[in-house]
Protein backbone atom coordinates (compact mmCIF):
# COMPACT_ATOMS: atom_id res chain seq x y z
CA UNK A 1 0.00 0.00 0.00
CA UNK A 2 2.76 2.48 0.87
CA UNK A 3 4.48 1.72 -2.43
CA UNK A 4 1.22 2.34 -4.33
CA UNK A 5 0.75 5.61 -2.49
CA UNK A 6 4.31 6.72 -3.24
CA UNK A 7 3.87 5.80 -6.91
CA UNK A 8 0.60 7.69 -7.02
CA UNK A 9 2.22 10.69 -5.37
CA UNK A 10 4.98 10.70 -7.97
CA UNK A 11 2.46 10.45 -10.78
CA UNK A 12 0.43 13.38 -9.45
CA UNK A 13 3.57 15.48 -9.08
CA UNK A 14 4.65 14.59 -12.62
CA UNK A 15 1.24 15.53 -14.01
CA UNK A 16 1.29 18.83 -12.11
CA UNK A 17 4.76 19.60 -13.49
CA UNK A 18 3.56 18.81 -17.01
CA UNK A 19 0.56 21.10 -16.65
CA UNK A 20 2.64 23.84 -15.04
CA UNK A 21 5.12 23.66 -17.93
CA UNK A 22 2.28 23.96 -20.46
CA UNK A 23 0.86 26.96 -18.61
CA UNK A 24 4.25 28.67 -18.35
CA UNK A 25 5.02 28.12 -22.03
CA UNK A 26 1.63 29.56 -23.03
CA UNK A 27 2.08 32.60 -20.79
CA UNK A 28 5.59 33.27 -22.06
CA UNK A 29 4.63 32.92 -25.72
CA UNK A 30 1.56 35.12 -25.46
CA UNK A 31 3.40 37.73 -23.37
CA UNK A 32 6.12 38.04 -26.02
CA UNK A 33 3.50 38.46 -28.75
CA UNK A 34 1.58 40.98 -26.63
CA UNK A 35 4.74 43.02 -26.01
CA UNK A 36 5.54 43.05 -29.73
CA UNK A 37 2.00 44.14 -30.54
CA UNK A 38 1.97 46.83 -27.86
CA UNK A 39 5.22 48.40 -29.05
CA UNK A 40 4.62 48.55 -32.79
CA UNK A 41 4.37 52.00 -34.32
CA UNK A 42 2.20 53.01 -37.24
CA UNK A 43 -0.13 50.55 -38.89
CA UNK A 44 -0.75 47.75 -36.40
CA UNK A 45 -2.74 45.46 -38.69
CA UNK A 46 0.05 42.99 -39.54
CA UNK A 47 1.24 42.85 -35.92
CA UNK A 48 -2.36 42.38 -34.72
CA UNK A 49 -2.87 39.47 -37.11
CA UNK A 50 0.41 37.89 -36.00
CA UNK A 51 -0.54 38.40 -32.35
CA UNK A 52 -3.83 36.59 -32.90
CA UNK A 53 -2.09 33.70 -34.73
CA UNK A 54 0.46 33.31 -31.93
CA UNK A 55 -2.22 33.31 -29.24
CA UNK A 56 -4.29 30.80 -31.19
CA UNK A 57 -1.32 28.43 -31.59
CA UNK A 58 -0.31 28.82 -27.94
CA UNK A 59 -3.87 28.14 -26.80
CA UNK A 60 -4.11 25.03 -28.99
CA UNK A 61 -0.88 23.59 -27.61
CA UNK A 62 -1.91 24.43 -24.04
CA UNK A 63 -5.37 22.94 -24.52
CA UNK A 64 -3.95 19.65 -25.78
CA UNK A 65 -1.35 19.44 -23.02
CA UNK A 66 -3.78 20.31 -20.26
CA UNK A 67 -6.42 17.88 -21.52
CA UNK A 68 -3.88 15.05 -21.58
CA UNK A 69 -2.57 15.79 -18.10
CA UNK A 70 -6.01 16.23 -16.55
CA UNK A 71 -7.33 13.10 -18.28
CA UNK A 72 -4.45 11.07 -16.84
CA UNK A 73 -5.21 12.54 -13.41
CA UNK A 74 -8.92 11.70 -13.76
CA UNK A 75 -8.07 8.11 -14.73
CA UNK A 76 -5.81 7.77 -11.69
CA UNK A 77 -8.54 9.07 -9.42
CA UNK A 78 -11.03 6.61 -10.85
CA UNK A 79 -8.75 3.57 -10.82
CA UNK A 80 -7.00 4.22 -7.53
CA UNK A 81 -9.94 5.68 -5.63
CA UNK A 82 -8.28 8.83 -4.31
Could you report the per-residue pLDDT of 10-48, keeping only the tens digit for each? Answer: 888 988 999 999 999 999 999 999 999 999 999 999 999
Total domains in the fold of the chain? 1
Query: 50, exposed or middle or buried, with CB in 10 Å at 0-12, 13-18, 19+?
Result: middle
Pseudo-torsion of CA 29, 55, 40, 38, nearest 10°?
-80
Its domain, for residue 23, covers: 2-80
pLDDT > 70: percent of the chain: 90
Amino acid sequence: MATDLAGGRGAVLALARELRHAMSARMETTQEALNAYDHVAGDRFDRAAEFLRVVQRADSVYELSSQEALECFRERIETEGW
